[in-house]
Amino acid sequence: MIPHRLLAGPLSRLRHSIDRRLFRLRPAEALPIRLRQRRIFVLPTRAGWIFGLTLFAMLLASINYTLSLGFALTFLLAGVGITSIFHAFRTLLDLEVGAGPLPPVHSGETAQFGLILSHRRRAAREAITVRTAHSAVNTDLAPDAHATLTLTAPTPARGWQRIGRLTIETVFPLGLIRAWSVLTPDITLLVYPAVEATAPPPPSGTGTDGRTQAASGDDDFAGLRAHRPTDSPRQVAWKAVARSGTLVSKQFQGGAGGPLTFDWHHLPPAMPDEARLQRLARWVVDAARDDARWTLRLPGQTLGPDRGAQHRHRCLRALALFRLNHHVPAAN
């Protein structure tokens, strides 16, 4: 007996080959994508098959008993069913698919792929469902309008992640006919590394011995901020906690330390690469939240010193793509 794992590869390649030929799928389709006539498929739903069998039984009974009203009712209902095929097909015809907002997320969080459906017809399109392997969204389109949808997916690893295979379908108007189209849009989202939950305080610079110095930042009191799990007990403002009952920490501005320095080579030698990236990501996120200036040093790349949201994105992007191929992986 052939093991299942030996058949998995050939069966997967055969399935993808059939999909490409049947649904005319490409590795990644440039946007916008317009649903032409040849890309839309139509078949009865389960209710449609039952409806068809009922009409067939009604036709046999009308023939057997020569019922004129039975013939009229059978052909009337058959005409309604045929009309629903036309309406279901027209609901998807010439629909355009484009990319919407694609906010980056950290690995382990839920990715949100933005998708824009638009059309130029003067009639509304109703009961449209957009489906991926992980989520589905229903929407209606007003005449000559567009709608922005959000599809979610898990993020198992850092780097680029595609939206994957997309199915757009409708059973409008009666639920008897399903019209659908399958496509693979070129929509990708950047996944940052996960942030370490209990990272130690970040370093602030490099001393004369070449080792990083801890960021004390205790020179000037700058105010209070929300407590973070990585704060030491001495940073907690215990008097303010006693008054308000809310856990807050003291924030300082140190003039001697200068910009923070997050250096790959100053992390423990035995720390795995992914753990290093998670710790550096935590330091970058915390520094951006405190509006500090920092420098990120990776093998062969130095970013900063700088501050702000753009610098945060550049650093997290460098961490997300560190030692990965920069090309976007193929869709599943």
Structure confidence at residue 22 (pLDDT): 60
Question: Amino acid letter at 19?
Answer: D
The predicted-structure confidence for 68-112, as pLDDT tens digits, reads as follows: 999 999 999 999 999 999 999 999 999 999 999 999 999 999 999
Name the helix (H) or strand (E) containing 139: strand 136-141
- How many Cβ atoms from other residues are within 10 Å of residue 11's Cβ? 11
Tell me the CATH number of domain 26-192, given options 3.20.20.70, 3.90.1140.10, 2.60.40.10, 3.30.930.10. Answer: 2.60.40.10
Structure confidence at residue 243 (pLDDT): 74
DSSP collapsed to 3 states, 42-88 = EEECHHHHHHHHHHHHHHHHHHHHCCHHHHHHHHHHHHHHHHHHHHH
pLDDT band of residue 245 (cuts 50, 70, 90) is: confident
Q: Where do the structural domains in the chain lie, given as residue ranges?
A: 26-192, 203-215+257-320
Structure confidence at residue 216 (pLDDT): 42
Given a cut of 60, whether residue 265 has pLDDT beyond it is yes
On whether the CB atoms of residues 147 and 168 are closer than 8 A, the answer is: no
C-alpha closest to that of 163 among 200, 199, 137 = 137
Question: CA distances (Å), 189 to each of 96, 132, 311, in order?
Answer: 20, 15, 19
Name the helix (H) or strand (E) containing 203: strand 203-206
The DSSP result for 8-31, as a single string, is HHHHHHHHHHHHHHHH---SSBPS
| Highest mean pLDDT: which range of 43-52, 255-264, 298-307 | 43-52
Given a cut of 60, whether residue 5 has pLDDT beyond it is no
Residues near 69 by Cβ (< 8 Å), separated by ≥ 6? none
Residues near 168 by Cβ (< 8 Å), separated by ≥ 6? 35, 92, 95, 97, 117, 128, 129, 130, 131, 180, 181, 183
Positive/negative CA dihedral, 83, 85, 88, 90: negative
Residues near 53 by Cβ (< 8 Å), separated by ≥ 6? none
The predicted-structure confidence for 169-199, as pLDDT tens digits, reads as follows: 999 999 999 999 999 999 999 999 999 988 8
What's the predicted TM-score (pTM) here?
0.76
Mean pLDDT, the chain, as a whole number? 84
b/e sequence 17-30, b meaning 16+ C-beta within 10 Å:
eeeeeebebeebbe
> Higher confidence at residue 231 or residue 23?
231
